[in-house]
């Protein structure tokens, strides 16, 4: 509790602070009106500034009709953000500024050259004090340029290719003229640059074309000389004379060998027919001659006659013998004629063979000539490639030269910038903005005045220490005995006392003397021996001895049935005096219930469990109530049992929060998830009072007389059957006696 008091926060005395603010109301009013008046005077006396704006779109202006032929197949060049940024710098360049200055004659304008009218007294004083640069130290060109550049603003709109040109001046017409002049001169500069580049390209191409024409003529002459000297005469486009002759001889040789083969095969076929058929040779139509055809017809006629006569005459008849003799003679004639035909085919084969031999010799000679011509053609093709390359280069240069010559006029050249908005004369000044500046001055000065008064009030003592309001009364023993108050009458017990009355009664309890405590403890010890049944203290407060197994079982049964149906039992453990530590009893009860198989959570509202081996680090119960922490970070596991516990936490909060709805929600949520909820309330009177109405049972320990008086006081708030008393803080027998 001492640490809680040492760390009690300080808060501002709001009533004292409001009084100081009300006392300084006239000073605040005069300060605010003074600052606002000065700002209004400044807005009415300062020279107004006007701004004109022109916009330029950066895009390729070339079309299919204006683009050079050499670029017709190319895609339109893209313009990225870097290209747009580069064009912004071009517009801000000094070259463009100098051209605008010359066009508008700004060098003779006193608004741009302060030296023309001389420095004003204020400016002279600032120069003498070193607060401003002496314009006389600069050249006239530099003075004009600096004044011009100070009013110029060029930037590109994000995510677009639009460049905005703004100029601020005291003359709205001059501002519009300068903004328009900047974009116009920028376009003119682009055209001039393109025209200069085109002229340079034209001059270069003209020189190169003259040289290429001479080189092309020399290359073509070299090709003609080499072709004539090597005998590479062209019959057609790509066919030389030797190549054509070689092709024709190859065809003739193939034809001669085919004729030789055909003649030999026919002669062999006729001889095979003669050998197979003998005198009865019948030549096919492909080999027959007019003579053989006639002889074969007569042979057929005789055979028909013989067959006719054989029907009536015998074979030995003279007529049949005569006809057979004629038939045999015709067969001999046909055989002889077939031999002559075979001989003729043999002659044709010999002629074709001789012709093929002659063609073969000529082909060999032409092949040697073709080899020589092939080597010469290699050199010829190299010369032709060189001449062709020179011709192609000359043709491309001629096309480019023609295109460059047509784009020589700068006035007709398209640019990559298009003016999408010209600057107009603005009649509304952008500075000063009277109403916004007055409003800002009013609000700012008022806030500054409030801050000043508040700071002085705090330094003067508006902060008071609230820790003294939360100091707990310490229980000092008194040397004179006091009588134990009797139980209140029914009429007095029915109405519930207020919180302040109950706390006062509990604080009166804490003033009991040490003498009364000693006498009562001795009397109680004499009346109730160890191991006896629960003793009945005055006013029937049930007392259990934790050293007796029967008492432990009865206490366990009472704690189990104290809770409402469907929810866990909520038990508050407290001490009747500050010399008794209730945390040890609460921890032993909770661990014993957990060992019996019940799910138990213990809430330490005091923070006196550090000596029991339980770490109290991290957020806890008061963080749960205030909503600064959740159950996942506030619930901890007891290393020695299945018990879960919630420490008191970091916050040294007002113990009256136990009566808040948020605390009731925390207790209800834990009771729905655990069989038992054990709360360590210690000897804090206020905490015991607040826990009385939200718990199902209260277990008190300490001096029996003070326990009895405390129970009587609490019975005016809660039912007496919910208040229990224990004899000892040793829970060994209680833990062993609880049924699993």
Q: Are 22 and 454 in contact (CB under 8 A)?
A: no
Do the strands 636-637 and 644-646 form a parallel or antiparallel pair, or are they unpaired?
Answer: antiparallel
The residue among 229, 244, 223 whose CA lies nearest residue 370 is 244
Q: Which domains does the chain have, with CATH numbers?
A: 1-46+432-464 (no CATH), 49-199+411-421 (3.30.1890.10), 241-406 (no CATH), 499-737 (3.40.50.300)
The pLDDT confidence band at residue 612, using thresholds 50, 70 and 90, is low
Longest distance between any two alpha carbons in the chain, whole Å: 197
The strand order across the sheet containing 676-682 reads 542-544, 723-726, 697-701, 569-575, 676-682, 600-604, 644-646, 636-637
Q: Rounded to 10 degrees, what is the CA torsion of 176, 181, 183, 188?
A: 160
Closest of 685, 690, 658, 654 to residue 8, by C-alpha: 654
Buried b (16+ CB within 10 A) or exposed e, 72-81: eeeeeeeeee
Selected residue with higher pLDDT from 365 and 327 = 365
Percentage above 70 pLDDT, the chain: 69
Residues comprising the chain, all counted: 740
pLDDT bucket at 164, cuts 50 / 70 / 90 = very high
For the segment 670-694, the average pLDDT, to the nearest whole number, is: 82
How many Cβ atoms are within 10 Å of 385's Cβ, its own excluded?
Answer: 12
List Cα–Cα distances, 514 to 477, 703, 726, in angstroms. 6, 10, 20
> 146: which 2 tokens?
């600096």
Residues linked to residue 569 through DSSP beta bridges, in sequence order: 676
pLDDT tens, position by position, 461-514 = 444 444 333 333 332 333 333 333 333 333 333 333 333 343 344 444 434 323
pLDDT per position as a tens digit, 630-639: 888 888 888 8
pLDDT at 705: 81
- Which pLDDT value is given to residue 234? 60
pLDDT in tens, 511-534: 432 333 333 334 434 343 433 333
Cα 179 to Cα 181: distance, rounded to the nearest angstrom: 5
Mean pLDDT (whole number) for 344-350: 81
pLDDT at 199 over 70: yes
d(CA 316, CA 158): 133
Tokens 């508006």, residue?
Answer: 462
The pLDDT, as a whole number, for residue 649 is 78
In eight-state DSSP terms, residue 605 is S
Radius of gyration (C-alpha) of the chain in whole angstroms: 65
Mean pLDDT of 240-256: 77
Comparing 202-206, 362-366, 587-591, which segment has the lowest mean pLDDT? 362-366
pTM: 0.42
């Amino acid at each position: 509790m001492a640490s809680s008091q040492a760390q009690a926060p300080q808060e501002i005395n709001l009533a004292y602070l409001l009084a100081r603010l009300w006392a300084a109301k006239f000073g605040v009013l005069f300060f605010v009106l003074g600052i606002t008046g000065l700002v209004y005077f400044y807005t009415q006396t300062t020279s107004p500034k006007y701004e004109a704006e022109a916009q330029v779109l950066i895009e390729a202006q070339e079309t299919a009709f204006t683009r050079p032929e050499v670029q017709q197949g190319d895609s339109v060049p893209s313009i990225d953000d870097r290209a747009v940024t580069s064009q912004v710098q071009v517009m801000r360049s000094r070259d463009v500024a100098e051209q605008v200055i010359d066009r508008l004659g700004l060098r003779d304008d006193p608004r741009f050259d302060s030296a023309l009218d001389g420095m004003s007294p204020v400016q002279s004083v600032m120069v003498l004090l070193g607060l401003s640069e002496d314009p006389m130290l600069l050249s006239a060109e530099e003075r004009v340029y600096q004044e011009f550049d100070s009013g110029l603003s060029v930037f590109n709109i994000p995510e677009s290719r639009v460049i905005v040109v703004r100029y601020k001046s005291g003359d709205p017409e001059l501002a519009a003229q300068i903004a328009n002049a900047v974009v116009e001169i920028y376009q003119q500069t682009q055209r001039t640059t393109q025209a200069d580049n085109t002229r340079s390209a034209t001059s270069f191409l003209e020189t190169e074309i003259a040289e290429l024409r001479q080189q092309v003529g020399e290359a073509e002459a070299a090709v003609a000389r080499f072709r004539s000297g090597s005998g590479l005469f062209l019959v057609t486009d790509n066919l030389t004379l030797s190549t054509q002759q070689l092709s024709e001889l190859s065809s003739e040789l193939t034809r001669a060998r085919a004729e030789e083969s055909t003649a030999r095969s026919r002669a062999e076929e006729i001889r095979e027919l003669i050998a197979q058929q003998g005198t009865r040779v019948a030549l096919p139509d492909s080999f027959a001659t007019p003579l053989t055809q006639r002889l074969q017809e007569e042979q057929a006629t005789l055979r028909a006659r013989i067959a006719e006569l054989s029907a009536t005459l015998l074979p030995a008849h003279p007529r049949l013998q005569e006809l057979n003799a004629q038939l045999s003679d015709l067969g001999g004639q046909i055989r002889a004629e077939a031999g002559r035909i075979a001989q003729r085919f043999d002659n044709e084969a010999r002629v074709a063979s001789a012709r093929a031999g002659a063609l073969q010799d000529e082909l060999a000679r032409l092949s040697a000539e073709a080899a020589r011509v092939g080597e010469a053609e290699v050199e010829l093709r190299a010369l032709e490639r060189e001449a062709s390359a020179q011709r192609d280069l000359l043709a491309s240069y001629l096309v480019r030269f023609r295109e460059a010559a047509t784009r020589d006029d700068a006035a007709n050249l398209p640019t990559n910038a298009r003016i999408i908005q010209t600057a107009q004369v603005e009649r509304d000044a952008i500075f000063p903005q009277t109403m916004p500046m007055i409003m800002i001055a009013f609000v700012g000065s008022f806030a500054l005045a409030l801050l000043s008064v508040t700071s002085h009030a705090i330094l003067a003592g508006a902060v008071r220490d609230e820790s003294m309001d939360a100091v707990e009364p310490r229980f000092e023993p008194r040397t004179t005995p006091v009588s134990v108050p009797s139980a209140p009458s029914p009429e007095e017990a029915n109405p519930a006392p207020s919180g302040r009355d109950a706390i006062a009664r509990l604080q009166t309890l804490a003033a009991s003397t040490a003498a009364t405590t000693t006498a009562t403890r001795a009397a109680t010890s004499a009346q109730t021996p160890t191991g006896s049944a629960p003793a009945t203290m005055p006013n029937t407060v049930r007392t259990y001895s934790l050293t007796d197994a029967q008492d432990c079982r009865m206490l366990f049964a009472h704690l189990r049935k104290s809770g409402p149906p469907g929810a866990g039992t909520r038990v508050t453990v407290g001490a009747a005096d500050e010399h008794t530590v209730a945390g040890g009893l609460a921890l032993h009860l909770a661990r014993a219930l957990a060992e019996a198989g019940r799910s138990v959570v213990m809430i330490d509202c005091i923070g006196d469990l550090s000596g029991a081996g339980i770490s109290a680090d991290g957020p806890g119960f008061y963080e749960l109530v205030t909503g600064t922490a959740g159950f996942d970070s506030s619930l901890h596991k007891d290393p020695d049992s299945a018990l879960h516990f919630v420490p008191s936490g970091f916050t040294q909060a007002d113990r009256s929060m136990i009566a808040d709805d948020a605390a009731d929600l925390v207790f209800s949520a834990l009771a729905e998830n655990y069989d038992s909820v054990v709360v360590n309330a210690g000897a804090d009177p206020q905490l015991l009072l607040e826990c009385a109405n939200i718990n199902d049972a209260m277990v008190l320990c300490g001096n029996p007389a003070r326990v009895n008086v405390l129970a009587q006081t609490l019975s005016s708030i809660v039912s007496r059957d919910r208040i229990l008393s224990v004899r000892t803080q040793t829970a060994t027998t209680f833990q062993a006696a609880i049924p699993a």
